[in-house]
């Protein structure tokens, strides 16, 4: 199995949120989970990270997708890699990319 990737070094396990977006709100920050899915691996995030809004979550998902593709390239693994974001209400965003290796 691939090494566990996590979108933030400052995660705080055990905290849960209540909303997907809450800019200007007094509610707790939502806990967002970043699951990495590829043809070779399935890494389910069971810790999550509290984020201020879905814009930050989207940016982190793109960065995590890039890192997952790099990790897959070291193993020579082509195919589709996805990062699915979910909160307490379920999945709400997916970013994906396809890696194609063609011999010319």
- Say whether pLDDT at 24 is over 70: no
pLDDT of residue 1: 38
Is residue 20 over pLDDT 60?
A: no
Task: Give the separation between CA 37 and CA 39, rounded to whole angstroms.
Answer: 7
| Residue of 29 and 11 predicted with greater confidence | 29
Structure-block tokens of residue 9: 């070094």
Contact 96, 82 (CB under 8 A): yes
Number of Cβ atoms within 10 Å of the Cβ of 79: 13
Average pLDDT over residues 75-104: 93
Indicate the DSSP class of residue 103.
-
Domain extent listing, the chain:
31-99
Q: Is 65 helix (H, G, I), strand (E, B) or coil?
A: helix
Q: With a cut of 90, say whether residue 93 has pLDDT above it.
A: yes
pLDDT tier, 27 (very low <50, low <70, confident <90, very high otherwise): low
| Higher per-residue confidence, 35 vs 53 | 35
First to last CA, the chain: 31
Contacts with 48 (C-beta within 8 Å, 6 or more apart), sequence order:
11, 13, 31, 32, 33, 34
């Amino acid at each position: 199995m691939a090494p566990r990737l996590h979108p933030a070094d400052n995660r705080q396990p055990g905290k849960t949120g209540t909303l997907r977006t809450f800019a200007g709100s007094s509610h707790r920050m939502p806990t967002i989970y970043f699951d990495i899915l590829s043809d070779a691996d399935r890494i389910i995030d069971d810790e999550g990270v509290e984020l201020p809004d879905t814009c930050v979550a989207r940016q982190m998902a793109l960065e995590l997708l890039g890192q997952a593709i790099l990790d897959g390239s070291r193993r020579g693994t082509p195919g589709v890699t996805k990062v699915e974001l979910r909160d307490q209400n379920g999945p709400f965003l997916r970013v994906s990319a396809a890696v194609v290796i063609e011999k010319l």
